[in-house]
Structure 1
Amino acid sequence: MTTSPTTTTLDAVLAGLMRRYSERVPDVQKVLDVMLDAGVIQSPDEIENDHIAFRTMGVPNLGLGSFEKIFLHLGYERRDEYNFVEKKLSAYWYSPPRPDLPRIFASELRVNELSADAQRIIHRYTDTVTSDPVDSLDLDDANAVDQFLHQPLWKTPTLADYQTLLNESEYAAWVIYNRYYLNHFTISVHNLKPGYNTIDEFVAFLQARGLRLNSAGGIIKVSPDGDLRQASTVAQMIDAEFADGAIFRIAGSYVEFAERRVLSPFQDLPADQITRQHRREGFETSNADKIFESTFTTQTGK
């Protein structure tokens, strides 16, 4: 396959995201280490990344309308929309230009549905962004895009503002501090070796090795059709420094695991012929709703 300049840029952007995420989330190395130790994989390169996820604020000049420009330019296509009524979130998933690349799941908080107090706090920070920052970004410069995705777009919040938001929307609190940091990456369990290639087997393997998993809606979240099965670690707590110098432990990022089952028309295909197109595609609102809670205090506080 010939590599286009855009593909090269995209590969570099994704590599930058994964490098910084891996440095920031100890569970990534912990999961890889137990997989290597047990011989589930011989190298981390064998893992297929099912999808990566981002969180955004639905405010002028930011949110999905701004964020998605980066990945649409780099060859991704916007697909289904999802609505999380209780959490006041909208989301889309984006399919990659190549089947070896991760899908993207990106969400935004519908800020205008929050209380007046929460809206005031959020706008105090985000209103300093007076034009869409992606419009002035060279989207063909992998380094510039990588830097953008890891830079603060507004000033660090005070602890009081963070805690006020936390009481109303844990999603809002996460984004006001973490900004566009990669929220999670996802191991495609179905592509692991037999004995570990169903979500039930893999979850049992992780739990036997002491990893804490998100129990919201059950450890394993199953789509109504039964073909998308997901689980995730509980977000690692990090010491965060706030604008007033206060240090407070907050939720960082986490690791997800997904099993996409082979669709019924392809059940008889030999295992070595099954590719991404033969498996359950897309996402499921009910599953994702509970995966979001990997960063919530109901999970991290256990």
Structure 2
Amino acid sequence: MSSTTDKPAHLLKTLDGVLDGLMSRYRELVPAVSGIIDALLDEGVIKNVEDIENDHIAFRTMGVPSLGIKSFEKIFLHYGYQKQDHYDFSEKKLNAYWYSPPEPKYPRIFVSELRVRELSDEAQHIIYKYTDNIVFDPVDALDLDDAKAVDAFLHEPLWDTPTREEYLTLLKESEYAAWVIYNRYYLNHFTISVHNLKKGYNTIQDFVAFLEKRGFKLNDAGGKIKISPDEALLQASTVAQMIEADFAEGEKQRIAGSYVEFAERRVLPQFQHLPASEIRREHRRDGFEAGNADKIFESTFTSQTNK
């Protein structure tokens, strides 16, 4: 459950700057974001962008020395985020954790990493070719109190651009690995909290129907709506935006970029007596569900983008 910390105001202001930078660049490269917002405005579901609650944002990393979750999490722990549950995705060879925010108004953060040593020798060779020159944790040299510096870091390449052939080799074995080798720390997705929208749009079923009516393409891995065993966390997502990737040696190819997710967090049983006007984030199902997340990952997979 999210809890308010006593983090100094200047750290929260820095966090605001980092999140603003992430979202502004993300919106530029994922047209579906503006398309969905425009559709919500058009139907009178929201009056402005600020009416949308960002449930969580997600990042992907490489589990190699000096990088991965152990490095990446330092950024958001600095701003008062608290590390929560661990998730194991054995088939995809991933670890993940989620982090609760310093104040309920901020998004949760979900960070995953590829267990590189579980890949084939060929795939490991490609990844280490690009990451072996990172011998010190780059976050340690970053001024975490400088929002512009952190924003720039999250959008700058930490290693050289791979060749198209290397990307395709990784793609055959781990589509996650291929995504990260090209996109690096780029924001993987942000998530609209549908339960805070007006009636007719505030369940995942209603929202999916709205998206499909508007022509948005949804990830149907495991069904368009992913439901946790307790039926309290329901999620859906668009299929990743395809981008024109510029690989080494001037080669180009359209590949998966980022996408948009949608979440409905239902009110916990012990709070269902509360009137709707009193329901806050802490009254709803928190955290994540490995089964749901496993299928959401596939929003960037060719099984979805090639449909």
Distance in 2, matches of 1:221 and 1:162, equals: 29
Per-residue CA deviation, residues 89-122 of structure 1 (Å, 9 max, x unaligned), is 0000000001000000000000000000000000
Per-residue CA deviation, residues 28-49 of structure 1 (Å, 9 max, x unaligned), is 0111111111111111110000
Equivalent residues in 2 for 1:38-117, closer than 5 Å:
38-117=43-122
Q: TM-score, normalised by structure 2?
A: 0.97
Distance in 1, matches of 2:61 and 2:198, equals: 35
Distance in 2, matches of 1:178 and 1:9, equals: 24
Distance in 2, matches of 1:179 and 1:128, equals: 15
* Residue 18 to residue 62, structure 1, CA distance change in 2 (3 Å): same
Question: Does the alignment pair 1:271 with 2:284?
Answer: no
Q: CA RMSD for the aligned pairs?
A: 1.0
The aligned counterpart of 2:164 is 159
Distance in 2, matches of 1:143 and 1:184, equals: 20
Query: C-alpha displacement at 1:230, in angstroms?
Result: 0.1
Query: C-alpha displacement at 1:268, in angstroms?
Result: 1.1
Question: Does the alignment pair 1:10 with 2:15?
Answer: yes
The aligned counterpart of 1:188 is 193
Letter of the 2:270 partner, please give it: P
Question: Does the alignment pair 1:133 with 2:138?
Answer: yes
Query: C-alpha displacement at 1:213, in angstroms?
Result: 0.3
Letter of the 1:158 partner, please give it: T
Query: C-alpha displacement at 1:88, in angstroms?
Result: 0.2
Q: Give the secondary-structure state (helix, strand or coil) at the position aligned to 2:249.
A: coil
Q: TM-score, normalised by structure 1?
A: 0.99
Number of residue pairs the alignment of both structures matches: 302
Query: C-alpha displacement at 1:175, in angstroms?
Result: 0.1
Distance in 2, matches of 1:267 and 1:194, equals: 17
The aligned counterpart of 2:3 is none
Equivalent position to 2:221, from 202, 213, 216: 216
Q: Give the secondary-structure state (helix, strand or coil) at the position aligned to 1:54.
A: strand
Query: C-alpha displacement at 1:3, in angstroms?
Result: 6.6
The aligned counterpart of 1:249 is 254
The aligned counterpart of 2:41 is 36
Per-residue CA deviation, residues 162-194 of structure 1 (Å, 9 max, x unaligned), is 000000000000000000000000000000001
Letter of the 1:21 partner, please give it: Y
Per-residue CA deviation, residues 278-299 of structure 1 (Å, 9 max, x unaligned), is 0000000000000000000000
Distance in 2, matches of 1:105 and 1:118, equals: 25
Q: Give the secondary-structure state (helix, strand or coil) at the position aligned to 1:13.
A: helix
2:7–2:79 CA contact under 8 A, matched in 1: no
Distance in 1, matches of 2:92 and 2:8, equals: 40
Query: C-alpha displacement at 1:62, in angstroms?
Result: 0.4
Query: C-alpha displacement at 1:138, in angstroms?
Result: 0.6
List structure 1 segments (4+ residues) > 6 angstroms apart after TM superposition: none
Bigger mean CA offset, 31-40 vs 45-54: 31-40
Distance in 2, matches of 1:239 and 1:160, equals: 15
Letter of the 1:193 partner, please give it: K
2:7–2:80 CA contact under 8 A, matched in 1: no
Equivalent residues in 2 for 1:193-208, closer than 5 Å:
193-208=198-213
Distance in 2, matches of 1:139 and 1:212, equals: 37
- For structure 1, the 5+ residue unaligned runs are none
Distance in 2, matches of 1:31 and 1:106, equals: 24
The aligned counterpart of 1:122 is 127
Letter of the 1:60 partner, please give it: P
Question: Does the alignment pair 1:259 with 2:267?
Answer: no
* Residue 153 to residue 30, structure 1, CA distance change in 2 (3 Å): same
